[in-house]
């Protein structure tokens, strides 16, 4: 590495150590499972029992989102008899954050002992079968954003320079999510997520193109976190909530208010599904 790259890697290492220390001082026995909550899903964290809440502003390496619907807290507690950590909100590349800022929280969770990461998000449906309110277990993704948080100097102590991605979303975790949905009486679909940079909603022509690529849903998050988590050795699964049809599929104009409202309603089904899932891991 060049001197500049060495300096960047050293700064990241120091930041991660500070973040781990800040959390460890508040939570001695950190859980091995973490869940990242997407837009409009923050209420899930309120269900945790004996919870410790740490605002992102008190954890070096955690940046607070500027987007409505992302509270910005790390919550650790118990649900369905399982201790879990919950990221109540996330940051996005379209807010102007560099890849290192998106990577830092996930890497801190890994250093704290997290082995499996469950991602959630609000997304758009690319066909009539993915109607608003649908829950979709991701089988794979397409990164169409030209954004990757792994760009830059690589720290081999965190993960390999060229991480393998034949199975970004763990098959065993996906199977348990399907079983949990059936037990909770919640209908789920399976599909491929296409990640776009945003922040604008997609054009009708773009939606048609993504569908032809083989994508089922589209969104502006999740993939960067998946890449970082897989790079540092975590198992990953994701459940997307379809909050709207993509542009051109339905006549209504898309708004973030609509996204939050639909996510909140569908979040009740997601919570029931996750409660059953946590009993299985």
Which residues are annotated binding-site positions for a purine D-ribonucleoside?
202, 244
Q: Is 122 an active-site residue? A: yes
Which one, of 90, 86, 29, 25, lies nearest residue 58 by Cα? 25
Which one, of 162, 128, 139, 117, lies nearest residue 248 by Cα? 128
The catalytically annotated residue of 85, 122, 234, 273 is 122
Q: Is 39 an active-site residue? A: yes
Beta bridge partners of 128: none
Count, residues in the chain: 281
Q: Is 169 an active-site residue? A: no
Q: Is 92 an active-site residue? A: yes
Q: Is 65 an active-site residue? A: no
- Residue 50, sorted as left (phi over 0), alpha (psi -120 to 50) or beta, turns out to be left
Q: Is 129 an active-site residue? A: no
The catalytically annotated residue of 237, 244, 263, 269 is 244
The catalytically annotated residue of 92, 97, 141, 231 is 92
Q: Is 221 an active-site residue? A: yes
The catalytically annotated residue of 45, 180, 220, 229 is 220
Can you say which residues are annotated as belonging to the binding site for phosphate?
A: 39, 70, 90-92, 122, 221
Q: Is 50 an active-site residue? A: no
- Can you tell me the distance from the alpha carbon of 191 to that of 30, in angstroms, rounded to the nearest whole number? 32
**Rounded to 5 degrees, what are φ and ψ at 154?**
-105, 135
Residue with tokens 């001082």: 25
The catalytically annotated residue of 9, 12, 34, 39 is 39
The catalytically annotated residue of 70, 97, 141, 231 is 70
Can you say which residues are annotated as belonging to the binding site?
A: 39, 70, 90-92, 122, 202, 221, 244
Residues that are catalytic: 39, 70, 92, 94-95, 122, 220-221, 244, 256
């Amino acid at each position: 590495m060049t001197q500049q790259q060495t300096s960047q890697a050293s700064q990241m290492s120091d930041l991660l150590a500070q973040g781990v220390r800040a959390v460890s001082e508040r939570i001695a026995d950190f859980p091995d499972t973490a869940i990242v909550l997407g837009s409009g899903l923050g209420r899930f964290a309120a269900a945790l029992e004996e919870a410790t809440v740490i605002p992102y502003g008190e954890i070096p390496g955690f940046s607070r989102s500027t987007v409505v619907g992302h509270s910005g807290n790390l919550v650790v507690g118990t649900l369905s008899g399982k201790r879990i950590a919950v990221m109540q909100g996330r940051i996005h590349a379209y807010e102007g954050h560099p890849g290192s800022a998106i990577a830092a929280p996930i890497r801190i969770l890994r250093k704290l002992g997290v082995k499996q990461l469950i991602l959630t998000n609000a997304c758009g449906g690319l066909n009539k079968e993915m109607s608003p309110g649908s829950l979709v277990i991701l089988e794979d993704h397409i990164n169409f954003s030209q954004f990757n948080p792994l760009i830059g100097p690589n720290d081999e102590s965190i993960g390999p320079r060229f991480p393998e991605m034949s199975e970004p979303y763990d098959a065993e975790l996906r199977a348990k999510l399907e079983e949990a949905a059936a037990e909770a009486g919640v209908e789920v679909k399976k599909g491929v997520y296409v990640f776009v940079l945003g922040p604008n909603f997609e054009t009708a022509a773009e939606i048609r193109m993504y569908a032809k690529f083989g994508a089922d849903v589209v969104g502006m998050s999740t993939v960067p976190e998946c890449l970082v988590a897989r790079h540092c050795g975590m198992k990953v699964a994701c459940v997307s909530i379809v909050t709207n049809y993509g542009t051109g599929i339905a006549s209504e104009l898309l708004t973030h208010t609509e996204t939050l409202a639909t996510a909140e309603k569908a979040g009740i089904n997601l919570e029931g599904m996750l409660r059953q899932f946590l009993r299985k891991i």
